[in-house]
Amino acid sequence: MAGLTGAIMDGSQTFERPDNQRGGSEESLGIAIVTGAASGIGEAVARKLASENWTVHICDIDANALKRFSDRHPNIHTSVASVSNPADVQSVVQGVLEKHGRIDALINNAGISGMTAPVEEFDIEDWRRTIDINVNGSFYFVREVVPAMKAAGKGAIINIASTAALFGYPQRSAYAAAKWAILGFTKTLAMELGPFGIRANAICPGSVEGPRIDGVIERDAAKRGVKPEDVRRVYEGQVSMRSFVSADDIANMCAFLASGQSRFVSGQVIAVDGHTESLSFPF
Ligand code: NAD
């Protein structure tokens, strides 16, 4: 993302809307940043928070997806930024602080699934990228928002982990390592920042209906030499409620954890998954 950094908030890379099309900060419930939110779970979270009268800023690495997002959600601010680029992250946070003077909620959602492969065949670059986006990106954002949250004496940090952070996950070693790291990071943030009135929680989504899980299933099936529908059946069978969840289910939990209704909920790892029993595979 080199070369983009200086332009993130300058209007050429930020798809700005006139102020009269946005929730103003006066009547807003708070200022929230959602990362990797041009699509999928992040989009559902941004939409839910905006519907509850939060002023929402999202970022995403995909400029075209952001343009489409802006068409769907003209009241939500957007920036092109990579969470794995510390300078991009700094620009996004500074831009929000310059505009509103505070950040009340950070939802670290951006993440990639990484490859599906036996550990000895794992591509080193893929491993690094998976850790970089899923783990380092969350750290960069937390590092930037915490001074403002400490100054305000409040804030909610929500890290999107996965049920892969609750079990071993064969053939998905980078993703599992990254998501377990997110839980350690979350617990540590809760301890370190609790005295400053800042809460930190992690959500572990189960498989979410949508194109991302379809891709994961297809790659898993190709690797195992079976049909995608067989893999899907196994995934569903791993869950007590025998079903995938929706992005809105995750967004609802996010909205709760960002709000004052959860004012003494911190350091928690909350699965929204219909109760995953195992991630092991019969074949
Ligand atoms: P998605 O692929 O639909 O959306 C992810 C978004 O992140 C995309 O818009 C993408 O452009 C963006 N992104 C990717 N790299 C980025 C980067 N470096 N900087 C900024 N943005 C970047 O994924 P999703 O299913 O919505 O997943 C969101 C989060 O939920 C991820 O952390 C994922 O690991 C987690 N999760 C998803 C599922 C699931 O089944 N979909 C299950 C458990 C956990």
Count CB atoms within 10 A of the CB of residue 235: 19
Q: Ligand 1 atom 19: the closest Cα is on which residue?
A: 82
Count CB atoms within 10 A of the CB of residue 146: 19
Q: What is the pLDDT of residue 8?
A: 34
Q: What is the pLDDT of residue 5?
A: 31
Mean pLDDT of 17-29: 50
Strands (E), the chain: 31-35, 55-60, 77-80, 105-108, 155-160, 198-205, 269-272
Q: How many Å apart are CA 184 and CA 195, to the nearest integer?
A: 18
Q: What is the pLDDT of residue 16?
A: 40
Contacts of 246 (CB under 8 A, 6+ apart): 44, 208, 209
pTM to 2 decimals? Answer: 0.92
Using left for φ > 0, alpha for ψ between -120 and 50, and beta otherwise, residue 196 falls in: alpha
Ligand 1 atom at minimal distance to the Cα of residue 38: 9
Give kind and range of the element (H or E) at residue 248. Answer: helix 247-258
In DSSP notation, 15-77 reads ----GGGS--TTT-S-EEEEES-SSHHHHHHHHHHHHTT-EEEEEES-HHHHHHHHHH-TTSE
Give catalytic residue positions: 175
Rg, Å, the chain Cα set: 18
Domain boundaries, the chain: 7-208+246-272
Q: What confidence tens digit (pLDDT) does each residue in 171-186 have? A: 999 999 999 999 999 9
Q: Ligand 1 atom 11: the closest Cα is on which residue?
A: 62
Mean pLDDT of 257-282: 96
Over the chain, what is the mean pLDDT? 91
pLDDT band at 236 (very low <50, low <70, confident <90, very high): very high
Residue 184 CA to ligand 1 center (angstroms) comes to 20
C-alpha dihedral (178, 201, 242, 237), degrees to nearest 10: 30
pLDDT band at 170 (very low <50, low <70, confident <90, very high): very high
Ligand 1 atom at minimal distance to the Cα of residue 83: 19
Q: What is the pLDDT of residue 22?
A: 42
Ligand 1 atom at minimal distance to the Cα of residue 85: 18
276 lines ligand 1 (CB under 6 A): no
158 lines ligand 1 (CB under 6 A): no
Structure token digits, residue 177 = 């390592």
Q: Ligand 1 atom 16: the closest Cα is on which residue?
A: 61
- 141/12: higher pLDDT: 141
82 lines ligand 1 (CB under 6 A): yes
Mean pLDDT of 212-232: 92
Q: What confidence tens digit (pLDDT) does each residue in 72-116 have? A: 999 999 999 999 999 999 999 999 999 999 999 999 999 999 999
Taking the alpha carbons at both ends of the chain, their separation in whole angstroms is 40
Q: Specify whether the CB–CB gap between 80 and 129 falls below 8 A.
A: no
Q: State yes or no: pLDDT of 259 exceeds 50.
A: yes
Amino acid at 20: N
Q: What confidence tens digit (pLDDT) does each residue in 134-151 have? A: 999 999 999 999 999 999
212, 213, 219, 243: residue to mutate for ligand 1 pocket, most atoms within 8 A of CB: 212
Among residues 258, 28, 57, 231, which one has the least CA distance to residue 141?
57
Query: Could you tell me the fold of the domain covering 7-208+246-272?
Result: Rossmann fold (3.40.50)
